[in-house]
Amino acid sequence: MSDDEKKQAVVRRFFQAAGSGDFATAMGLIAPGCLWTYHAPVDLIPFGGRHEGPAGVARFFEITAGLLSIDAMEIDRMAAFDDHVIVAGRERCTVHRTGASYEAEWLHLVRTDGETILAYDEYVDGATIARAIGAL
């Protein structure tokens, strides 16, 4: 397996574990110094902003799960370069409080050493999500 394939495999394992509810495995792939950034304003999207280390990433998922359920998350394409994996995909979610659902495309930029996730940047249509949760 090439280095790029190893890096993509780490990201796929993370998606598979998180998507199946196996958060112990998913969190085991998060490096101690991981910086997870959801690029959206925290005043509009409560899980937005920066989350540091496994505890911060776990809190990110806790806040997210408290607000919405992920009905579908699909990877459309993935590519590795240097120490990064770029993942393009889409999600469909339902907001618990309002029952509103939304669909959004996203781009994730993941930095990995081929064994763990060192940094994770999520870029998504924040306005669509903010409208669905009633923040706009």
Q: What is the mean predicted confidence (pLDDT) over 109-115?
A: 98
Query: In the prediction, which pLDDT does 19 show?
Result: 87
Q: What is residue 32's predicted lDDT score, i.e. its pLDDT? A: 97
Q: What is the pLDDT of residues 31-64, one digit of tens each?
A: 999 999 999 999 999 999 999 999 999 999 999 9
DSSP per-residue string spanning 62-112:
HHHHHHEEEEEEEEEEEEEETTEEEEEEEEEEEETTT--EEEEEEEEEEEE
Domain locations along the chain: 3-132
Give the residue-averaged pLDDT of 89-94: 97
pLDDT band at 136 (very low <50, low <70, confident <90, very high): confident
3-132: what fold?
Nuclear Transport Factor 2; Chain: A, (3.10.450)
In angstroms, the CA 136 to CA 130 distance is: 6
Mean pLDDT of 4-27: 94
Mean pLDDT on 4-16: 96
- What is the per-residue pLDDT for 99? 95
pTM beyond 0.85: the answer is yes
Phi first, then psi, for residue 45 (nearest 5°) are -125, 105
